[in-house]
């Protein structure tokens, strides 16, 4: 299986970039019209001349930016365009357009030509382009957010017709419903930054680092050579704590031991020490430097026993959060303000861990998790999986590969999650996931593989193949609503069986209840702030019990903050299971969780 690795954009002595974020011209195809833009070759025209052209900020989801319900609920193609003059100073470089996330399907045109396409949001891709230095350059992107049984994540697409005997037709011609098989709004568009990368003729294309707690360290550099002769690399590793060089070497790959390294630890278990690998790509004949790339990484070891997850040979208990990249106005669009606030709130509540539910989060966030010492389970965008076909498996494999190639150098990422709540109680699912688990282990042998299940221990068909098991369950919410006294025993009873049957670490990866901020009812009633608090308290009693007898390796509340979903009678302007409101103000439950996480001993 072949995908190219992709490096995070960097500016330095040999490589540069322009961030093309800002206001792009935007045109939405009429609702229900498929491919008008493609048919009429909109990539050849100036979209700003269209009567219905407007601008759309990049990065941002387009859905919540206008007052037009048809923009919010659009299904189908939208078009973005951006024009720029290239600088004469850049003629020496090879240039690439890099897209950090476009959701869901993107066709990329440059100066009138189709240069590539990409399937799936949340993972970066790039294409080499030749700039015009004497005239305007034009990027045109057609984005389609339609979900179906052939997409990951999947959606249910249904045309509806109903005609009464009188001839009255309920639905307008071509009416369809698209229901996502998941519980978050399908925000679409250019969700993360777009870069014009300027790289040397021969450049460092891929960098793979593996660094363990015992000082074992290996790297592998892949170069796009452009025939520039015999290349080599000078390597320096610096401790960012002591600012000392701890290793110097030569070669495009090596496997060495560096004694006495300072370890990367999760918060509460020591410092999250980082090192920097500095690569100088060298032309062997001339001895000249051709390219430089610097990557931060950490020495740490992840292991799994029957009972627990060990980071640096110490039991790591996850005090965590399910989250979303979600905010008012820009939806799932990357925003450094929201990202920083979210991570600050994780720390404020004493958390040490999160899962990138239900898709890989921004690259900026992964670097921040490294720096802050927050341990992360990174999840591929495979939520709600139920169509276990060969083509879907191929797409899923591609997404796993893109995720690992993007994130494998981050010490904070301690596990890969291959799905959230798949229909994993069938033999088809077993065969499907068996291949994907093998693939993931072959792409990265240093991290455990997990999946997030909502099946039962008695019926699940994949759990035994996982390194550790994540279980989502909502006692007191979807089950036994209102019967608080049943919650503790429900969790103890169920988790205990998972543990007994599979003899693997179990993380309670979701639990919680909706609370509309400010809705006060005592005695508590579902949707009140008190009810959310009550559910948490009962669940925590169970977790303490399970933890004390070695049956629980971690807990993650659902969710850090309220977030938008599709409309449904069980959602009042989105999902309200947040500890925080959508604008990140704490609800009552946030204080309960804060107290728990702050006082919970790291080691039992
Ligand atoms: C789940 C899903 C999550 C939902 C949550 C809920 O099990 O994994 O995406 O948002 O339940 O609140 O229903």
Q: Averaged over 65-77, what is the pLDDT?
A: 96
Query: Is the CB–ligand 1 distance for residue 64 below 6 Å?
Result: no
- The pLDDT assigned to 604 comes to 61
CA atoms of 210 and 300, how far apart (whole Å): 9
- The pLDDT assigned to 35 comes to 87
Mutate to test the pocket of ligand 1, among 185, 326, 515, 558 (most ligand atoms within 8 A of CB): 558
Mean pLDDT of the chain: 96
Position 226 pLDDT exceeds 80: no
Q: Averaged over 257-265, what is the pLDDT?
A: 97
Reported as a pLDDT band with limits 50, 70 and 90, residue 219 is: very high
Give 471-537 as a DSSP string.
EE--BTTTBSTT-GGGHHHHHHHHHHHHHHHH-S-EEEEE----B-TT---SS--TBSHHHHHHHHH
- Top pLDDT among 35 and 563 is at 563
How remote is the CA of residue 558 from the centroid of ligand 1, in Å?
8
Position 350 pLDDT exceeds 60: yes
Q: Averaged over 496-522, what is the pLDDT?
A: 98
Query: Is the CB–ligand 1 distance for residue 508 below 6 Å?
Result: no
Reported as a pLDDT band with limits 50, 70 and 90, residue 229 is: confident
CB 273 within 8 A of CB 418: no
- The pLDDT assigned to 217 comes to 97
Coil, helix or strand at residue 393:
helix
Query: Is the CB–ligand 1 distance for residue 421 below 6 Å?
Result: yes
Query: Is the CB–ligand 1 distance for residue 454 below 6 Å?
Result: yes
Coil, helix or strand at residue 203:
strand
Please give the DSSP secondary-structure letter assigned to residue 71: H
Minimum-distance ligand 1 atom for the alpha carbon of 512 = 12
Instruction: Indicate if 421 belongs to the active site.
Output: yes
Please give the DSSP secondary-structure letter assigned to residue 83: E
Minimum-distance ligand 1 atom for the alpha carbon of 514 = 12
Please give the model's pTM, rounded to 2 decimal places.
Answer: 0.97
CA atoms of 65 and 329, how far apart (whole Å): 6
DSSP E strands, 137-244: 137-144, 155-159, 176-180, 189-190, 194-199, 203-211, 216-224, 231-239
- The pLDDT assigned to 5 comes to 83
- The pLDDT assigned to 2 comes to 52
Q: How far is CA 148 from CA 152, 179, 386, in A?
A: 8, 9, 11
Burial 543-578 (b: 16+ CB within 10 A, else e): bebbbeeebbbbbbbbbbbbbbbbeeeeeeebbbbb
- The pLDDT assigned to 34 comes to 74
How remote is the CA of residue 278 from the centroid of ligand 1, in Å?
42
Coil, helix or strand at residue 91:
coil
Minimum-distance ligand 1 atom for the alpha carbon of 510 = 7
Q: Averaged over 528-546, what is the pLDDT?
A: 98
| Maximum C-alpha span of the chain | 86
Q: Nearest CA to 407 among 364, 449, 372, 373?
A: 364
Query: Is the CB–ligand 1 distance for residue 325 below 6 Å?
Result: no
- The pLDDT assigned to 45 comes to 97
- The pLDDT assigned to 295 comes to 98
Coil, helix or strand at residue 252:
coil
Give me the count of residues in the chain: 604
Minimum-distance ligand 1 atom for the alpha carbon of 454 = 7
How remote is the CA of residue 406 from the centroid of ligand 1, in Å?
26
Please give the DSSP secondary-structure letter assigned to residue 87: P
Position 49 pLDDT exceeds 70: yes
Query: Is the CB–ligand 1 distance for residue 510 below 6 Å?
Result: yes
Q: Averaged over 182-186, what is the pLDDT?
A: 98
Reported as a pLDDT band with limits 50, 70 and 90, residue 3 is: low
How remote is the CA of residue 472 from the centroid of ligand 1, in Å?
8
Q: How far is CA 447 from CA 159, 314, 373, 561, in A?
A: 43, 16, 17, 28
Please give the DSSP secondary-structure letter assigned to residue 151: S
Reported as a pLDDT band with limits 50, 70 and 90, residue 1 is: very low
Residue 365 burial (C-beta neighbours within 10 Å; 0-12, 13-18, 19+): buried
ipTM field:
0.99
Query: Is the CB–ligand 1 distance for residue 330 below 6 Å?
Result: no
Choice among 29, 262, 421, 494 that is catalytic: 421
pLDDT in tens, 89-138: 999 999 999 999 999 999 999 999 999 999 999 999 999 999 999 999 99
CA atoms of 138 and 506, how far apart (whole Å): 51
Minimum-distance ligand 1 atom for the alpha carbon of 421 = 8
Q: Averaged over 572-580, what is the pLDDT?
A: 98
pLDDT in tens, 442-475: 999 999 999 999 999 999 999 999 999 999 999 9
């Amino acid at each position: 299986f072949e995908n190219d690795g992709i490096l995070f954009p960097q500016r330095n002595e040999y490589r540069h970039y322009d961030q093309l974020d800002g206001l792009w011209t935007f045109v939405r195809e009429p609702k229900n019209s498929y491919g008008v833009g493609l048919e009429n070759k909109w990539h050849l025209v100036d979209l700003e001349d269209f009567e219905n052209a407007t601008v759309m900020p990049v990065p941002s989801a387009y859905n919540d930016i206008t007052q037009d319900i048809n923009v919010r609920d659009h299904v189908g193609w939208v078009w973005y365009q951006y024009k720029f003059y290239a600088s004469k100073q850049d003629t020496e470089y090879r240039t690439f357009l890099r897209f950090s996330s476009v959701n869901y399907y993107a066709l990329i045109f440059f100066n009138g030509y189709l240069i590539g396409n990409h399937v799936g949001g949340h993972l970066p891709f790039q294409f080499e382009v030749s700039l015009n230095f004497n005239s305007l350059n034009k990027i045109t992107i057609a984005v389609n957010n339609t979900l179906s049984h052939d997409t990951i994540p999947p959606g249910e697409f249904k045309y509806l017709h109903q005609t009464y005997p009188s001839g009255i037709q309920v639905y307008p011609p071509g009416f369809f419903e698209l229901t996502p098989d998941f519980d978050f709004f399908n925000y679409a568009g250019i969700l993360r930054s777009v870069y014009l990368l300027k790289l040397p003729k021969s450049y460092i294309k891929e960098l793979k680092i593996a660094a363990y707690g015992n000082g074992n360290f290996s790297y592998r550099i892949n170069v796009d050579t452009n025939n520039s002769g015999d290349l080599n690399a000078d390597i320096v590793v610096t401790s960012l704590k002591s600012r000392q060089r701890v290793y110097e070497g030569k070669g495009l790959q090596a496997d060495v031991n560096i004694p006495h390294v300072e370890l990367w630890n999760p918060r509460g278990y020591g410092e999250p020490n980082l090192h920097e690998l500095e690569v100088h790509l060298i032309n062997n004949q001339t001895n000249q430097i051709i390219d430089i790339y610097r990557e931060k990484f950490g020495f740490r070891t992840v292991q799994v026993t029957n009972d627990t997850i060990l980071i640096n040979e110490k039991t790591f208990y996850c005090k965590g959060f399910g989250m979303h990249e979600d905010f008012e106005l820009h939806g799932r669009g990357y925003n450094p303000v929201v990202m920083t606030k979210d991570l600050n709130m994780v720390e404020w509540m004493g958390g040490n861990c999160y899962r990138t539910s239900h898709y890989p989060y921004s690259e900026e966030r992964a670097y921040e998790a490294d720096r802050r010492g927050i341990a992360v389970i990174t999840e591929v965008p495979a939520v709600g999986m139920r169509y276990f076909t060969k083509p879907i498996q191929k797409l899923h494999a591609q997404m796993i590969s893109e995720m690992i190639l993007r994130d494998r150098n981050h010490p904070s990422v301690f596990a890969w999650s291959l799905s959230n709540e798949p229909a994993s109680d069938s033999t088809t699912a077993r065969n499907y996931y068996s291949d994907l688990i093998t693939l993931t282990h072959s792409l990265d042998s240093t991290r455990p593989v997990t999946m997030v299940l909502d099946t039962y221990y008695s019926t699940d068909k994949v759990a035994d193949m996982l390194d550790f098991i994540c279980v989502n369950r909502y006692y007191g919410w979807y089950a036994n609503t209102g019967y608080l006294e049943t919650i503790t025993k429900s969790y103890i009873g169920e988790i205990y069986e998972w543990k007994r049957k599979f003899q693997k670490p179990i993380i309670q990866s979701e639990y919680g209840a909706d609370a509309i901020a400010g809705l006060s009812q005592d005695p508590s009633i579902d949707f009140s702030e008190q009810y959310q608090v009550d559910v948490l308290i009962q669940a925590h009693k169970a977790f303490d019990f399970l933890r004390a007898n070695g049956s629980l390796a971690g807990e993650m509340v659902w969710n850090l903050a309220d977030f938008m979903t599709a409309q449904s009678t069980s959602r009042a302007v989105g999902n309200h299971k947040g500890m925080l409101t959508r604008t990140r103000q704490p609800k009552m439950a946030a204080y309960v969780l804060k107290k728990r996480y702050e006082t919970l001993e790291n080691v039992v």
